[in-house]
Structure 1
Amino acid sequence: MRIPNWTKPKRGTEPRNFLKVLVDPQEANIDIVAVHGLNPLDKPSHAEATWTAGDKLWLKDFLPEKLPTARVLLFGYNSNVAFQTATSGVREQAENLLNRLEGARTALFHSNNDRTYKSIAESTFGIAFFGTPHRGGNNAEIGGVVANIARSLLGNPSNTFMSAVKEGTFLDLIEDDFRQLLESFQILTFYETKPMGRLGIVVDQNSAILGLPGTREKQIALDKDHRNICKFSSHDDPEYQQVADNIASMVYSAIRARASSEPIHIEAKGNTSSCSGSENSTWQAGFGNKSQTIGDANKTRQFGHGNESENFGDGNKTIQVSGGVFEIRDYIDLLRYFNH
């Protein structure tokens, strides 16, 4: 299954449900999936507009500078219908996302305990929330907080969408399901600190945070109101830089965690290498390798059994490891040694 690359759609032609690639580097080593929030006004291109200030969609225009090997995907869905149809609608959209991710053989974001999507759940390292209510705030129930979000978008207290979400029963059920999965993820929580006129702060800190231990959840205040909490018009914006730095830190942690858990299997080969000069680098994997280097500041790496190495000169480095299978974390340590 091929995921389409993103191009700005013509007005009136926007699909309701999709998974699009915003950034697709040739050597991607991690996926980032962006999921928008409420759209009670049924605005076109809401999935893109959520992350856009002016004509800058920071996930596409700025983030690749920070994370050049991250594939960035955008998920779009009809959140208006999802919430109006209560629990079933929200779950259907979650299943829609999982199905599209699974079908495209990408692996990130949200999963329930269904074995069908087990690989997606296991491949998910962290989640970043922007002004997302996880519980009531300022003595309000979570349904009231979500209704307040609808007010900030609608300005219409009689809207049926707002009346539906204010009941909040299905929101509590969704939140309960999610909390059962929290032990598996690292969390970034970005919350707003600027009020929106008479509405004040729409999702306050108490509502936005999950309250996990510091090592599991990083809570970050942004000088933004709810409407603009994930919109950045410039990569020089200090708020964007704070967001990008924290996302990058999570990405690097995810890559390190994956590297430390995956073994590398080395096939048996009998290589022979001979080089002369300075600053040469020799790397041999397998069994019965032979290496001879003549000169200064050469590096030799050999993995396997029965290796032989001869060095002549000054400042040479040789490392030999016996074994057929090596943990990749050990391999990374070896590379770090040689890079020094």
Structure 2
Amino acid sequence: MDGLKTLYDPEGADIDIVFIHGLMGGWMKTWTKEEVLWPNELLPKEVPTARILSYGYNADVVHFWSRPADNRIDAISNSFFSQLTNNRSAAEASTRPIIFVAHSLGGIVVANALVDATSNSYGEVSACVRGIIFLGTPHRGSSKANWGEQARKFIAYFKATNSSLLKDLDAKSEKLAKIGDSFPSLLNTRGKQANTRIEVVCFYEGQPMGSLGKIVDETSATLSGYEKIMLDADHSQMCKFATVDDNNYRQVAGQLIKWCKDFSKPVDGSKKDGDQKAFFYGTNYGLQQFSNTGTQTNHFGRPM
């Protein structure tokens, strides 16, 4: 079931880390290698005071690239921020800092949600975002032609054969180009003040996907003015880690550890939230409840 899942919820959490997958991914499978769901099994040991969540949505490539172009991305972004807002309100965590970890086009969902938050009711969530890790997210700027080229790479990568997809690329690429133009502008505006700045690190793939080459190359996967780091993996594997000794994991986890230390206080400067719980809102929201009764438990009910 899609929706927002709470993977780890320690008592006295002081920061939220939220994972969001890309096309053909899932809230669990995108982050799993050799049956190890690393945000659940490995990361809590590194950042024990962070609440960790993962968001899932319909990521079928045909669904994403079908008409109408604007509404598809907007609907995913709005649902994401709506569920996150409700979840944080229920957990009495509305002022807690947020870090996003986004793979592939999940990063575009995040970017679109932040851009649109200025014109809808999700400004409170947006204001709490302090850091974003992009893993192989294409940032193609405002060129519709470049986005069309990137779209064809994704379609080839997922071996999509729906003939109507190619007809929709221009319309979809126009929407993506608008996001590619608006998001850096938002980062620039937020960066003018230390208390609103969003820290960004862009990880890019160092290995090709066979004959397709690199799905999102370094130029596309990075943003001017922000740190960029290569991971020794292809587009699919750059977000999956099985052990803490994996050098790629150490690169990503190291950034999260640093940010958790830097950001571990509410945005409004008040005392950090106390005992936190995640709640189930029913099927409309896809959220689930996991108890926190002194013993830390993960999404599967196992003690940490």
Return the TM-score normalized by structure 1: 0.63
Among residues 50, 68, 73, which one is paired with 1:90 in the alignment?
A: 73
The gaps in structure 2 that reach 5 residues or longer are 101-112, 191-197, 272-304
Work out the CA distance in 2 between the residues paired with 1:231 and 1:29.
25
The higher relative CO (CA closer than 8 Å, separation ≥ 6) is in: 2
Counterpart for residue 248 of structure 1: 257
Please show how residues 212-231 of structure 1 align to structure 2 within 5 Å: 212=225, 217-231=226-240
**Which residue of 1 is the match for residue 146 of structure 2?**
141
**Aligned runs of 1:1-340 on 2, under 5 Å?**
15=1, 17-39=2-24, 46-80=26-60, 81-85=63-67, 86-104=69-87, 105=89, 106=93, 108=98, 110-111=113-114, 112-114=117-119, 116-135=121-140, 141-154=146-159, 156=160, 159-161=163-165, 164-165=168-169, 168-183=173-188, 184=190, 185-212=198-225, 217-255=226-264, 258=266, 262=269
- Report the CA distance shift for 1:162/1:71 in structure 2 as closer, same or farther (over 3 A): farther
Opposite residue 149 of structure 2, the aligned amino acid is G
Measured after TM superposition, the shift of residue 162 of structure 1 is 5.7
Q: Distance in 1 between matches of 2:8 and 2:260?
A: 15
Letter in 2 for 1:198: S
In the TM superposition, what is the alpha-carbon distance from 1:164 to its structure 2 partner? 3.0
Counterpart contact for 1:147–1:163, Cα < 8 Å? no
1:312 alignment partner in structure 2? none
Contact 1:146–1:166 (8 Å) recurs in 2 = no
Q: Which has the higher helix share?
A: 2
The answer as to whether partners of 2:238 and 2:248 remain within 8 angstroms in 1 is no
Which segment drifts farther, 50-59 or 174-183? 174-183
| CA deviation map 1:290-334 (0-9, x unaligned) | xxxxxxxxxxxxxxxxxxxxxxxxxxxxxxxxxxxxxxxxxxxxx
Partner of 1:9: none
Q: Match of 1:103, as an amino acid?
A: N
* RMSD of aligned alpha carbons: 2.4
Aligned residues: 235
Contact persistence 1:83–1:90 (CA under 8 A) = no
Distance 1:159-1:22 versus aligned 2 partners, 3 A rule: farther
Distance in 1 (alpha carbons) for counterparts of 2:218 and 2:35: 29
**Per-residue deviation, 1:179:** 2.5
* Secondary structure, counterpart of 2:157 in structure 1: helix
Q: Offset at 1:115?
A: 5.3
Deviation at 1:246, TM superposition (A): 1.2
Report the TM-score, using the length of structure 2 for normalisation.
Answer: 0.71
- For 2:285, the equivalent position in structure 1 comes to none
How far is 1:250 from its partner? 2.0
**Contact kept? 1:143, 1:171, Cα under 8 Å:** no
Q: 1:163–1:249: structure 2 CA closer, same or farther, 3 Å change rule? A: farther
* C-alpha separation in 1, matches of 2:270 and 2:9: 26
Higher strand share: 1
Q: 1:80-137: CA deviations, max 9, x gaps?
A: 334323111101111101111111125545432035212111111011111000017x
Distance 1:78 1:230, change over 3 A: same
